[in-house]
Structure 1
Amino acid sequence: MEHEVILAATITLLILVMIIIFLFGIFQTRKNQYIQAEKHFEEEIAKSQMEIQEQALKNIGWELHDNIGQLLSIVRMQLNILHAKLQDDHKSEAADISELVGDCLKEIRLLSKTLNSEVIREIGLVRSIELELERFNKLNFLKATLNIHGNERPVKDKDEIIIFRILQEFFANVIKHSKARSLVVDLEYQSQTLVISAEDDGIGFNHSDVTKGSGLMNMESRAELIGADYAIHSAPEKGVKLLLKYNLKET
């Protein structure tokens, strides 16, 4: 009788353990499904936000190129007409103003290109970066340099735009906050990876002082969308370095 009680208790315990394991398995599966669904939902939100931002930038680019650019062209034309009517002692001043308006027109057209994702797709990542750095050099913001190592390889259109926007965000922070004198960008094409680094020699920052409005979170979330490894290093008076590693194998 005692053996039967022990056997029954053992069987009952085994059944309970199996039920617990089964329920735990169901719970773990549901948990993983929930995490995946949540991750997918967050990715979709991030993609939607990015698409909205891209459309806004495209619209701004069109406005700059078509409307503001056209107005400046008219202003320059009117200045040239006025130049012919002025006395000789005022002609040089009018010519200087006309040249300044021409420089503004070139700058706006250059800026409008880097805001339009369709233009970025057409000219490619490397040329887009070159245009951005050329603009900084022309405006004497700082000395900007681009170095390319290895043989250039294609990047997916959408990923190409995201990489460029990450760099644009970094460049904007450099111009606005770093007080840097130089900016160096390196693109290293390895067999399966594109390694991108961008580094300034500015005042740097303390990571504990970084706020959500700094743009760093935006860069990181964009990097996650394309599965790129993202890192940013800085310390006060040490400058800032951005490092991106993008998988070329899947392009």
Structure 2
Amino acid sequence: MNERTDPQTCRQTRAPRARHPARALFWRLFAINGLVFTAGTFVLALSPATVSSPVLLAEIPVLTVGLALIIAANALLIRKSLAPLDALTTLMRRVDLLRTGDRLTDSGNGDLAQLIGTFNEMLERLEAERSASSAYALAAQEGERQRIARELHDEIGQSLTVALLALKRVVDRAPEELKDELCSAQETVRASLDEVRQVARRLRPGVLEDLGLHSALSALSSDFSQASGIPVTREVDSGLPALSGEVELVLYRIAQEGLTNVARHSHARHVELSLREEKGQLTLRIADDGRGGVRTEGAGIRGMRERALLIGARLTVDSPPGGGTDVRLVVPPHAVKES
């Protein structure tokens, strides 16, 4: 119902209707064409030029020039009116919900302002929904990682420890001809136990919970260098502000994924890992001297972008061919403050 009752006048008044963009655009084009042809008619009526019947050859250039001017004026006015549609189409093609803040500004065309505003509102709604769904999915992922890490540490780790102790007792009582084989088995079990502990530590960074972000990044760098053989130069400001658990986890996971990508794809010889604070803004940087040339973003980089959205941070990846890869995460001041 588009009618409502005014309690004071006891009369029914119609609610104002929203302006329809297509109808408004139709009337705008209609007015432009009408204005152009009306102006052309007045010019012909007031000018000394006349048209004979039949048309003389000398009159044809005059008519041609007049028609060309009318068509050109009409084309320019219509093109100006429809220019925001080109910008809107370009934005539709490049929009990515993992890169927030890409909006179309109103260029003063009143007929398309409602369409532009509606599209921007749709983008804001989709970005909010994407951020909420990503937060839920990543929270579930972290919970599953903690469960698996706990089972690896408490069950498989304990079982391997028991097996290692049993082998030690067997080695102590075994004859000399069997000791070498038993010692080899003992070392295999010990190596498996170390691998299980490393996997559990990657799945659930206990050092982050116990000792904080600074120590966690230090341990992450050491483990990376030990596993990959690539040295890491680490620079972390000692006077970092107090961070919430969510921000610390996002910073740690993005640093972890960035180093993992370096080991898998970059063929680098050196990596720089830094975390600096300036004017309340945190910047995490992972830079390598590898081959660079990252053209398409894989699951790792898109996963980092999803994590960045959780705290309102901005992630950029600069990877010129042959110039290494530079990953930066900039956390705004409002997200740095511990809640």
TM-score range, shorter chain: 0.7 to 0.9
Q: Distance in 2 between matches of 1:118 and 1:51?
A: 17
RMSD of aligned alpha carbons: 3.1
Structure 2 residue matching 1:219: 3-state secondary structure: helix
Equivalent residue number for residue 146 of structure 1: 234
Distance 2:192 2:162 in 1: 13
The share of aligned pairs that are identical, in percent, is 24
Q: How does 1:140-179 map to 2 (within 5 A)?
A: 140-179=228-267
Q: 1:125 is matched by which residue type in structure 2?
A: L
Q: TM-score, normalised by structure 1?
A: 0.76
> Which deviations, in whole Å up to 9, do the C-alpha atoms of 1:167-216 show, x marking residues without a partner?
22112212222233332211213231222111223332x233x2543x11
* C-alpha spacing 1:201/1:63, structure 2 compared with 1 (3 Å): farther
Residue number among 236, 245, 249 corresponding to 2:330 in the alignment: 245
Does the Cα contact within 8 Å between 1:185 and 1:199 map onto a contact in 2? yes
1:91 Cα deviation (Å)? 3.8
Unaligned runs of 5+ in 1: 1-15
Report how far residue 159 of structure 1 moved. Answer: 1.6
Deviation at 1:84, TM superposition (A): 0.8
2:273/2:286 contact within 8 Å kept: yes
The CA deviation at 1:229 is 2.3
Deviation by residue 1:120-165 (Cα, 9 ceiling, x = unmatched): 3343222222222222233353223322235132222112111211
Which is helix-richer, 1 or 2?
1
Select the structure with the greater relative contact order (CA < 8 A; seq sep ≥ 6): 1
Which of 213, 221, 228 is the matching residue for 1:133?
A: 221
Matched, 1:235 2:306: no
What is the count of residue pairs matched by the alignment?
231
TM-score for the superposition, normalised by structure 2 = 0.58
Q: Which has the larger radius of gyration?
A: 2
Q: 1:207 corresponds to which residue?
A: 294
Equivalent-residue separation in structure 1 for 2:218 and 2:173 (angstroms): 41
Distance 2:277 2:317 in 1: 20
Distance 1:113 1:146 in 2: 20
Query: Is this contact kept in 2: 1:142–1:183, CA < 8 A?
Result: yes
Q: What are the within-5 Å matches in structure 2 for residues 114-125 of structure 1?
A: 114-116=202-204, 120-125=208-213
Partner residue in 1 for 2:309: 224
Shift of the 97–175 alpha-carbon distance from structure 1 to 2, 3 Å rule, reads farther
Q: Which moved more, 1:140-149 or 1:123-132?
A: 140-149
